[in-house]
A = this chain, B = another copy of it.
C-alpha cells in the first residue's frame, strides 16, 4: 500500500483480503504500525517528523521486521497474497521494498490511495481518532489534532507514484475510484485485484437479503426443484414490502431487487416490485446450489440411496460436489460477478436461496469456508446489512410467519423441527 495517513489504505487492504479469502486465496495483511507499536505504543506526531532521527530509525526497523515476516510467510506455498500496510510514501522506501520482494522471487503491485477530497479525509480522521490503538484512552480532540500533525509530517516527504516508477506494477486510485491509473499489471491475480478496486465506492448504502418464502418443496422436505410458494410462503411475500419499509428502505428509484430465475424467488419479490415500484433483475447466478442427481429427494432418502456421498458431504461440505451438480466452492465461483456488481451498486434487495445466501453472507462476514455451509439462515426473516469501515452491521427483521426449518445439522438425516404446516 502507498498513501498518506487517513486515505483509506487499511480499509482497502482489508477489503482485498476479505475478497481473496472468500475466493479461497490465502491472503494476509502485514501492518507496519502494529510492529512499530511493539516498542512504542502511543507515539505523538513528533515521532513521525522527518528530522526525528530516532523516530525514523524505529519506523524503518518496524518496516524491516514486517517485510521479513511477510517474505518468511511466503515460504509456505499456499500463501498467495501479502499486503504490506504502511504509508510507503517515498520513492526510496518503495525501491527498497521492490528490491526485497524481487530478490525473494515474489511479484509485487503497489496500490496507492490518493485523496484530496477533504470530506473523505475528515471522515477517515474521525474514524482513526476513535479506533486507532495509537490513541487509546486519549482525549479525542487532542488525538485528532495530533493525527493531523502526523499527516503534515508525512506530507513533507510524500512522493506520489509517477513516470519515474514506470517499471513497477502499480495502481493509483484517486478519490476512491474517481480516477485510476493502472501500470504494468500482468498476472491474473493482480488484474482481478485491480478490477475489484475499480468497482469499490464508499457511498453509504445497505443490502437487504431474504430467502424466498416457504415453498411446496420445503414443506415436503425435498431439496432443489422449482416449486411454488406454500400458502405460508405467499403470506411472507405479501408482508415483505411492509417489512422492508420498517427496516428503513429508501423510497428511491435506484433501489433494485435481484432474484434467481426460479419461481419461488420471483413469487416472493412480486409484491415488493408491484407496491414499491423497484426495478427487478433475474440472475441465473442466484439460482439455488445444483443438487445434481440428488435434486428432488429428501435428506433421509439421499442418506439411504447414496450413504457414501451423504457422509462425504458432511465431512467437507464446502468442497463436496453433488454428482452432476455443484459444491459450495462452485457456487462461490459463479457468485463472483454478483459480488462485483454488488460492490458497484447502492441499495440492493436480494431474494434468493439458502446456500446462495450463505455464500453471500460469508463474503460480508468473512466466514471461514468450513463454517460457511453450516450457517443458519432462517426462512421468513429479512436481513439488512450495512457495510462499515471494518465489517458490516447486521439487523434481522423476522416476519413472524411460521415456516418449516430447512436447517440440517451435521450428522443428522432430518431437518430441525420447524413450525408444522397446517394440515
Contact = CB atoms under 8 A, between A and B. Distances in A.
Interface in A205-247: 224-226
Given A284-B330, A284-B333, A184 B188 contact: no
A324 B295 contact: yes
Interface residues of A, number: 34
Nearest to A327: B284
B179 A198 contact: no
B182 A198 contact: yes
Contacts of A166: 179
Give the one of A290, A295, A324, A336 with max B CB within 10 A: A324
A170 to B, nearest CB: 10
Contacts of A179: 166, 181-184
Contact of A181 (B181, B199, B285, B334): B181
Contacts of A323: 226
B181 A180 contact: yes
B324 A226 contact: yes
A340 to B, nearest CB: 9
Given A178-B183, A181-B180, A226-B324, A341 B284 contact: no
A195 interface: yes
Contacts of A333: 284-285
Copies of this chain in the oligomer = 2
Nearest to A325: B290
B188 A341 contact: yes
Given A180-B181, A225-B324, 9 more contacts: A166-B179, A179-B181, A179-B183, A181-B182, A188-B341, A195-B195, A224-B324, A290-B290, A295-B324
A415 interface: no
B191 A184 contact: no
A126 interface: no
A326 B334 CA distance: 14
Contacts of A226: 323-324
A176 to B, nearest CB: 12
A198 B182 CA distance: 9
A185 interface: yes
A321 B284 CA distance: 11
A194 interface: yes
Nearest to A324: B226
A265 to B, nearest CB: 15
A305 interface: no
Contacts of A178: 183-184
Give the one of A191, A225, A226, A336 with max B CB within 10 A: A191
Interface in A23-40: none
A142 interface: no
A326 B284 contact: yes
A12 B226 CA distance: 43
A344 interface: yes
A323 B326 CA distance: 17
Nearest to A329: B284
Interface string A171-203: 000000011111111001001001100110000
